Amino acid sequence: MTVFVLGSSGQLATHLKALLPDATFCGRDTLDLAEPRDLSAAIEAMRPSAIVNAAGYTAVDKAEAEPALAWRVNAQSVAAAAAAATALDVPFVHVSTDYVFDGRQTTDYVETDATNPLSIYGATKLAGELAARALCKKSWILRVSWVFSEHGANFVKTMLRLAATRDELRVVADQRGRPTYAGDLAAVITELVRRPECLPFGTFHAVGGPVVSWHEFAELIVEHAFERGMIPKRVPVRPITTAEYPTPARRPANSALQPSAELERALGVAMDWQKGLTAALTALRG
């Protein structure tokens, strides 16, 4: 089995390296995802048994000022990878996002709910989904949200850094979702490429655990970090509204994805962001 992974140093790719040590990982230093033709050539030259897209343009706010670049990375490169997978007749795993939804729904989003992204980032990720479905019938699209890990840059590490130096934190309380631990996501992807016959191709929500607001998530991070002696004091976390923290990109108020039960049932991987938070903090504490 030869797995070609787009991405090398990010949260997900770092976890995948531990689980798929024989895979080939291509990061920015070796492959520019803003150049879809180069990606097609690299995949054709390697002729892998599976392709995993663990990379992307993820700077949600910056994408508002760089729509063309976000489009090339999140849509055109996905199209190139999906077409290459079809040409080689191999499966393609693509990671998408909760931001393909507009957040106006009051219940959790299921895979078949109508999409309507509010931001350039969400629009380019949706375009990537559409390309994967149209160009590769052997594709799994895994939607995730609020990805965190002990690796890379993410909300958990930002909260730990700020909690170590500030007297209080102010965090948005009117946006809700289900965080995703990158280690859980890597376990799902690993099972897919090792046992592709276990799950039908299609779109799945790779999340697990309770729905929380960013504020509630931050409170848990601070509480657990203080209990582990990772920060000097239990810093108060004050709730604020989205209006009090304006950003270039609009974000959905409710981006809670309904977990896909098929993932655990077929692959044996139980996704639980609360356990993932414990794992991430344990690793960060050392």
Q: Is residue 279 part of a domain?
A: no
- Asked if 106 and 58 count as a contact pair (C-beta separation under 8 A), the reply is no
Q: Is residue 275 part of a domain?
A: no
pLDDT of residue 140: 98
Higher-scoring residue by pLDDT: 264, 93: 93
Percent of the chain with pLDDT strictly greater than 70: 100
Tokens of residue 199, six digits: 């799950």
Q: Looking at the predicted structure, is the pLDDT value of residue 177 above 90? A: yes
- Asked if 273 and 216 count as a contact pair (C-beta separation under 8 A), the reply is no
Q: Is residue 40 part of a domain?
A: yes
Q: Is residue 247 part of a domain?
A: no
Which residue from 161, 175, 163, 177 is spatially nearest to 273, judged by alpha carbons?
Answer: 177
Domain encompassing residue 33? 3-149+181-208+257-269
Model confidence band, residue 21 (pLDDT cutoffs 50, 70, 90): very high
Into how many domains does the chain fold? 1
User: Is there a catalytic annotation at residue 245?
Assistant: no
Model confidence band, residue 100 (pLDDT cutoffs 50, 70, 90): very high
Tokens of residue 82, six digits: 């999906």
Q: Is residue 249 part of a domain?
A: no
Tokens of residue 211, six digits: 């729905």
Q: Is residue 159 part of a domain?
A: no
Q: Is residue 229 part of a domain?
A: no
Model confidence band, residue 212 (pLDDT cutoffs 50, 70, 90): very high
Tell me the pTM: 0.95
Which residue from 220, 219, 213, 204 is spatially nearest to 259, judged by alpha carbons?
Answer: 204
Q: Is residue 278 part of a domain?
A: no
Which residue from 8, 20, 94, 84 is spatially nearest to 46, judged by alpha carbons?
Answer: 84
pLDDT of residue 37: 85
26-82: per-residue pLDDT in tens? Answer: 888 787 788 888 888 889 889 999 999 999 999 999 999 999 999 999 999 999 999
- Asked if 185 and 220 count as a contact pair (C-beta separation under 8 A), the reply is no
Single out the catalytic residue among 57, 121, 181, 245. 121
As a whole number, the mean pLDDT across the chain is 95
- Asked if 124 and 171 count as a contact pair (C-beta separation under 8 A), the reply is no
Domain containing residue 78: CATH number = 3.40.50.720
Dihedral sign of CA atoms 14, 16, 22, 24 in order: negative
Cα 254 from Cα 248, distance rounded (Å): 18
227-257: per-residue pLDDT in tens? Answer: 999 999 999 999 999 999 999 999 999 999 9
